[in-house]
Amino acid sequence: MLIGFLFYVFEFVFGFSESCMAPSESSSIVNDFVMESPTCWCGLKTPLKTSHTKKNPGRRFFACPNYNTGDARCEFFVWLDILTLLEENFRVRENKASCCWEDVLQRDYDVRKREEKVRDAVKNLKKQKQKLLMMYWVLTFVVVFAWFG
């Protein structure tokens, strides 16, 4: 659900698409989705580049063709793996929610079992009360009969 929304947002903002494209168009495949090269702010198709910095070695990104040149106008830049990172973050949160939900279900099951035990204990106490009451009346009858008898 969230991933579909993110692809919709990125398609709207950056021109990404899930549809198949002609082989001549610049594209990238991420998580079984074909991504068109986004169009930068100055209207040019952005090539897929690879970072060679120490901080992000081998990390791929889309950037304006004029990015990091003396003629930089729009400074458009987006990491290719941002969707993957968002999806991983979503899966981690989804797993945590799933674990929490399993805990809730287990606790609900435990509470129901305890309620059942309490109901059984109440039934047993009512039966014991009836037995004691009957014994009281029998004993009272015997005492009265013996006293006046």
User: Which is nearest to 49 in space by CA: 80, 74, 23?
Assistant: 80
Judge residue 38's burial from the number of C-beta atoms within 10 Å of its C-beta, 0-12 exposed, 13-18 middle, 19 or more buried. buried
Can you tell me whether residue 32 is helix, strand or coil?
coil
pLDDT single digits (tens) 27-71: 445 445 556 778 888 888 888 889 999 998 998 888 888 877 776
pLDDT band with cut points at 50, 70 and 90 for residue 26: very low
Helix or strand holding residue 118 (H, E): helix 82-148
- pLDDT at residue 17, as a whole number: 44
pLDDT single digits (tens) 49-58: 899 999 989 9
Q: Is the pLDDT of residue 106 over 70?
A: yes
Say what the pTM is.
0.38
Q: Where are the beta strands (DSSP E) in the chain?
A: 27-30, 33-36, 48-50, 60-63, 77-79
